[in-house]
Amino acid sequence: MMNVNELFDLSGKVALVTGGTHGIGMACGKALAAAGAKLCVNDIDDEKLAEAKAEYAKDGIDVYTLNFNVTSEEGVDKGISQIEKEVGPVDVLVNNAGIIKRIPIMDMPLSDFQQVIDVDLVAPLIVAKRVAKGMIERRQGKIINMCSMMSVYGRQNVSAYAAAKGGLKLLTSNMTCEWAKYNVQINGIGPGYIATAQTAPIRVGGHPFNNLVMTRTPANRWGEPEDVGNAALFLASKAADFVNGHVLYVDGGILANFGYVEGENVAD
C-alpha cells in the first residue's frame, strides 16, 4: 500500500531556491525544508540573506545561504560549486529569482527590457544548465521554473516580464524534451496574483488593480506565497515523477475565467 509520507519525503535531498530570502521563494523553501530537504537559498543582498536565515530559523530550518547573482555564469558556477562542496549536489532547483519593471513599451529603455530578460529568462537557463549536469549524471533531479500568468497573458506595461515568462514556459518545455530521458523532471509553476513585495505597488493602499484581481480571480482573493510553496512541494516530490514539461497554474482560477460584470442579467 502506498505510503503518502514517503511519497512527499525529501529527506537526503539538497534543494536550491534562487532568490529564496522572502516572498514566494521563501514559501517554496519552507515547504521543501518541511519535507526534509536540506535547503539552500541565494540572493544578491547579504542583509536579506542574514534576515532570511533568522526567519527560516524560527521554523527550525538551518538554511544554507550564499550570495551570487543568477545572471552571472561565473557567479552561478562558483555558487553551485560551493553548494556541491559544502552541502551536496543539487537534487531540486527552484528557479524563483525574478524582477519586474512596469513601464509602457514606448517608454522602456532597451537596457531595462534586457535586464528583465536577463534575470527572468536567461538566468533560469544559466542555473538550470549548471545543476542539470549533475542531475543527468545521477539520472535524477527536479527543476521548477517560476513562470506566471504572463506566461499566457499579455498586460499593459509588463512587456519585458511577459516576454521573459512566456519564454520561460517554452524553455521549460525544451528542457523537458532534452533532459526527461535522464529521469530529470522539469516543470513550471504559474502563480496568479500573489501578495508579496513584488505586487505591493499594485495591491496596497486601495490601488484600483485590486478590483481587477478580485473580478478576474474566481477564488476572489490574492494568493498567498504558501499557495505556491505547496505546488513546489508537489512538483519536487516522487508524486510528480511522471509530470514533465507542465506549468502548474496556482491562480485561484484566473485562467479559467474570462471575467464578469457586476449585476449582469443572467436571464438573457
| Residues designated catalytic | 161
Which does residue 25 bind out of ligand GCO, ligand NAP, none, counting CB within 5 to 8 angstroms by kind?
Answer: ligand NAP
The set of cell numbers assigned to 114 is 534586457
Residue 62 Cβ vs ligand NAP, minimum distance, rounded to whole Å: 19
Contacts of 81 (CB under 8 A, 6+ apart): none
Nearer to ligand NAP, 66 or 132 (CB): 66
* Residue 19, contacted partner among ligand GCO, ligand NAP, none, CB below 5-8 A by kind: ligand NAP
Do the beta carbons of residue 236 and residue 14 sit within 8 Å? Answer: no
155 binds, among ligand NAP, ligand GCO, none (CB under 5 to 8 A by kind): ligand GCO
Residue type for position 87:
V
If the CB atoms of residues 185 and 199 are measured against ligand GCO, the closer one turns out to be 199
Cβ-proximal residues to 184 (8 Å cutoff; 6+ apart), any chain: 132, 135, 136, 140, 141, 142, 143
C-alpha distances out from residue 102 to 13, 194, 227, Å: 37, 16, 24
Q: Does 56 bind ligand NAP (CB under 6 A)?
A: no
Q: Pick from ligand GCO, ligand NAP, none: which does 146 bind, CB < 5 to 8 A by kind?
A: ligand NAP
Which CB sits closer to ligand GCO, 91 or 118?
118
Angstrom distances, CA of residue 88 to CA of 52, 68, 255: 21, 17, 38
Alpha carbon distance 229, 240 (integer Å): 15
Binding site for ligand GCO (CB under 6 A): 100, 102, 148-150, 155, 158, 161, 191-193, 198-199, 202
Binding site for ligand NAP (CB under 6 A): 18-19, 21-25, 42-45, 48, 69-71, 96-99, 119, 146, 148, 191, 193-194, 196-199
